[in-house]
Structures are given as structure tokens and as C-alpha cells.
């Protein structure tokens, strides 16, 4: 492709133009489209909205496993045989201690994730009280992922000061029934709209590599644009032996970079996060993802190990990006080095599971 092809992608994205489905699909699959100039164009858009900043998110897997839902990619689903460390909701003290740890470890946003179909009224009140205490104690942005919500529950969380609600679309409407049968795509859309109506920022993303055609990834990108999602986590399917859906499909490092770039062009101002699968699927190209995305998770994912914190911080700063934190990058790296334990993120081609100590660092 000529250089004006890439320039035009950046200019049109910066102008807020809704790129055609065909063009977005071409970004994903056309071998004539080179990845390096594509990332450079995505970087132009990323830089205009986010400069060189990288927001670091730390997940607290606050209630693990025993979920009645059957999401086929999830180790916590009732249909999964993965031998994870299950536990009911952590105590209030443990969650607050982990919020402190997350802040001290450089998190900009603290994301509490609860397995299950959705919170009861009592659980919603409990979450609201936690959100309010965390917000009044630490300068952290707080995000909750707790399943399906209606307007009443979203209002309770909004009143408590919740910044963001995470609820991923995961895949397209057409593909949804193939990955989950216990709730629908529309249930997920309803939850996202309830959050938006109540003034909570929307965090919603996808999982690439579940056998979907490239056109599905375009459709999800366009839906998130319509929904005005402020935050888009892009996951790449992690292979866990024992899940219904084990084998990622079509995820080369170059394809993952194309996905990140396409989401930047279609959602230019969104906080685009390289989520699960960053280490596993981008491999030696990992840092290149930050030329399109401006955010990542530290310390792994819900039940999957990720790279050590010091390696992730070094990767960010080595490439000239800036970690958004009250602490200096050098101090974060030094502190992370002290507690670092290198561990493989995959074993024999499958995702490595977190240990109980990694899942519950404040226990
Ligand atoms: S993704 Fe959420 S709702 Fe689905 S099985 Fe996993 S924990 Fe349950």
C-alpha cells in the first residue's frame, strides 16, 4: 500500500469518520497492508488522544469460580473442568488491603471482578460500600465487573462513586450463542446501557481468537463505537485445558497488532487496553501493541499468569512510554524487582494458572 493509505486512515480516524466495514476488514486481513506503517498510523491517533501515557490496571479476582453461566472461554464457568483455586467473595478487609497494594504497585485503576450471573440487591449494596470506601481512601479509579445489572443496581453503584463498569461484549451478536447459552448478547447490551444511563463509564471489550471471522471483530468495534464505550479491553483467547473452548484460532502476533490498530481507528478516543493474552499471543512483538493501545493489565489476568510487574514496567519505559502513577517509574521498577518472581506464562503451550498466593496477595 502507498503511504497515503496509512495517512488517510489516521486522518479519517482523527476527524471522527466512521470507517467502512470493508476498510476495517482490510486492515485486519489484507497482506498488502503492512503492519509497521499501520501501527504508525494508529500511533498518530493514539498520541493525539493519549500522548505517550500508559494506564496500568490491576485486577482483583474478588470471587473466583462456581459460576452458573456457561461462557465457553472461561475457567470459572460451570462447564469448565479447569482446576482453579475457587473461593467465595473475599472479605471486605482483604479487598481493601488489595486496593492499597494495587495503589502502591502503580495501578491507575483498580478492577474488582466477581464471578456469577449478576449481583443480588444485597451484594450490590456491599459493592457500593466497598467502592465508596476505596474511593475515599486512595486516589484510584475504580471499576467493577459483576455480571448483569439493571438500572436500579447501576444507580446504587453510581451513587457510591463507581467510575466504570466492565461488561465485555466478547463476540458479535451472531456468534454469541456459540460461546454462551445461559445469557444473551442482548442481556449484555442492556447492562451496558443501564450503566451509561446512570452516568457510569463503560468498559466493554472482546475476546479475539474464538473462531470468529474478521468481520465479527469489525462489527464489535462498530457496536462499541455506537455505545460510546470509554474503555475497550482487547483480550486474545488464552488456552486452558479443561475449558469448553481451548484452542485459539488465527492469532499470530501480527494479526493481534492489526486488531489493536483497527480498534484505535474505529474508537479513536477510547482507552484501548491490551488485556489477556498480551504475553501469550503478541510474544516478542508485545511492546508494539502500545503504539495502538494506551493501557494494559499488570500481574496477569483472572486465573492466568502474566509477565512479572518489573518486566512490564520496563517494557513500557524502554519504549519511551510514560506510566500514569503517583510514583516515579524508576521507583515502581525497583519495588517490583524486589518482589519479582519470574514464572512462565505458558506451560507446554497452555496458559499457566495463578496460584492462591497470586490470587490473594493480601491474605
Ligand atoms: S465470564 Fe463471567 S459470567 Fe461467564 S462463566 Fe465466567 S465468571 Fe461466569
Q: What pLDDT does 221 receive?
A: 98
Sign of CA dihedral 321, 323, 324, 326: negative
From the CA of 9, how far away is ligand 1's center (Å)? 36
pLDDT: which is higher, 344 or 301: 301
The pTM assigned to this predicted structure is 0.96
Q: What pLDDT, in 10s, does the model give residues 273-325?
A: 999 999 999 999 999 999 999 999 998 999 999 998 999 999 999 999 999 98
Q: Any residues with Cβ below 6 Å from ligand 1, and which?
A: 67, 69, 71, 74, 76-77, 115, 147
- 77 CA to middle of ligand 1, Å? 6
Model pLDDT for residues 5-24, shown as the tens digit of each residue? 999 999 999 999 999 999 99
Q: How would you class 357 by CB atoms within 10 Å of its CB: exposed for 0-12, middle for 13-18, buried for 19 or more?
A: exposed
| pLDDT at site 342 | 65
Pairwise CA distance, residues 293 & 337, whole Å: 25
pLDDT, tens digit, for every residue of 152-208?
Answer: 999 999 999 999 999 999 999 999 999 999 999 999 999 999 999 999 999 999 999
Task: Give the per-residue pLDDT at 224.
Answer: 98
- Ligand 1 centroid to Cα of residue 147, in Å, is 8
* pLDDT, the chain, mean: 94
Query: Would you say residue 47 has pLDDT above 90?
Result: yes
Mutate to test the pocket of ligand 1, among 72, 76, 111 (most ligand atoms within 8 A of CB): 76
Q: How far is the CA of 316 from the centre of ligand 1 (A)?
A: 30
Question: Of 128, 161, 66, 140, nearest to 98 (Cα)?
Answer: 140
pLDDT at 107 over 90: no
Q: What percentage of the chain exceeds 90 in pLDDT?
A: 86
Residue 330: pLDDT band by 50, 70, 90 thresholds?
A: confident
Provide CB contacts within 8 A for 14, sequence distance 6+.
44, 45, 48, 268
What residue owns the CA closest to ligand 1's atom 7?
115
Q: Is the pLDDT of residue 343 over 90?
A: no
Strands (E), 256-360: 271-274, 295-298, 322-323, 346-347, 350-351
For every residue of 16-83, which 3-state class applies, written as one string?
Answer: CCCCCHHHHHHHHHCCCCCHHHHHHHHHHHHHHHHCCEEEEEEEEEEEECCCCCCCCCCCCCCCCCCC
Catalytically active residues, by annotation = 67, 71, 74, 111, 143, 203, 273
Q: What is the pLDDT of residue 244?
A: 94
Cα radius of gyration rounded to whole Å, the chain: 19
With a cut of 80, say whether residue 341 has pLDDT above it: no
Cβ proximity of 291 and 256 under 8 Å = no
Whether 339 has a pLDDT exceeding 80, the answer reads no
CA angle 242, 247, 252 (to 5 degrees): 145
Which residue bears the cell 465508596? 132
**Considering only CA atoms, which residue is closest to atom 4 of ligand 1?**
71
Q: Please report the pLDDT score of residue 33 as a whole number.
A: 98
- Residue ranges and CATH numbers for the domains of the chain are 16-359 (3.20.20.70)
**Residue 49 pLDDT > 80, yes or no?**
yes
Amino acid at each position: 500500500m502507498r503511504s497515503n493509505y496509512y495517512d488517510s486512515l489516521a486522518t479519517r480516524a482523527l476527524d471522527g469518520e466512521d470507517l467502512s466495514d470493508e476498510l476495517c476488514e482490510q486492515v485486519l486481513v489484507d497482506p498488502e497492508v503492512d503492519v509497521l506503517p499501520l501501527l504508525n498510523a494508529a500511533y498518530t491517533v493514539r498520541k493525539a488522544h493519549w500522548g505517550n501515557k500508559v494506564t496500568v490496571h490491576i485486577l482483583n479476582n474478588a470471587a473466583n469460580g462456581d459460576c452458573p453461566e456457561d461462557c465457553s472461554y472461561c475457567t470459572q464457568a460451570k462447564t469448565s473442568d479447569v482446576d482453579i483455586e475457587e473461593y467465595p467473595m473475599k472479605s471486605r478487609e482483604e479487598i481493601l488491603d488489595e486496593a492499597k497494594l494495587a495503589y502502591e504497585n502503580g495501578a491507575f485503576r483498580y478492577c474488582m471482578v466477581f464471578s456469577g450471573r449478576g449481583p443480588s440487591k444485597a451484594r450490590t449494596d456491599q459493592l457500593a460500600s466497598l467502592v465508596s470506601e476505596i474511593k475515599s481512601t486512595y486516589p484510584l479509579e475504580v471499576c467493577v465487573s459483576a455480571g448483569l445489572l439493571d438500572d436500579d443496581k447501576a444507580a446504587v453503584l453510581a451513587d457510591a462513586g463507581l467510575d466504570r463498569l466492565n461488561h465485555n461484549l466478547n463476540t458479535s451478536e451472531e456468534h454469541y450463542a456459540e460461546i454462551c447459552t445461559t445469557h444473551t448478547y442482548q442481556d449484555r447490551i442492556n447492562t451496558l446501557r443501564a450503566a451509561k444511563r446512570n452516568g457510569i463509564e463503560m468498559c466493554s471489550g472482546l475476546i479475539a481468537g474464538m473462531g470468529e471471522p474478521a468481520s465479527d471483530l469489525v462489527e464489535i468495534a462498530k457496536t462499541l463505537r455506537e455505545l460510546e464505550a470509554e474503555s475497550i479491553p482487547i483480550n486474545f483467547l488464552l488456552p486452558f485445558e479443561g475449558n469448553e473452548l481451548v484452542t485459539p484460532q488465527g492469532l499470530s502476533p501480527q494479526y493481534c497488532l492489526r486488531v489493536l490498530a483497527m480498534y484505535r481507528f474505529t474508537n479513536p478516543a477510547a482507552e484501548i487496553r491490551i488485556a489477556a493474552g498480551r504475553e501469550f499471543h503478541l510474544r516478542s512483538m508485545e511492546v508494539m501493541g502500545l503504539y495502538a493501545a494506551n493501557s494494559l493489565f499488570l500481574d496477569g489476568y483472572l486465573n492466568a499468569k502474566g509477565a512479572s510487574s518489573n518486566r512490564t514496567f520496563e517494557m513500557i519505559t524502554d519504549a519511551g512510554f510514560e506510566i500514569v502513577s503517583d510514583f516515579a517509574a524508576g521507583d515502581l521498577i525497583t519495588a517490583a524487582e524486589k518482589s519479582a518472581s519470574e514464572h512462565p506464562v505458558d506451560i507446554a503451550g497452555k496458559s499457566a494458572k495463578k496460584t492462591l498466593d497470586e490470587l490473594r496477595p493480601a491474605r
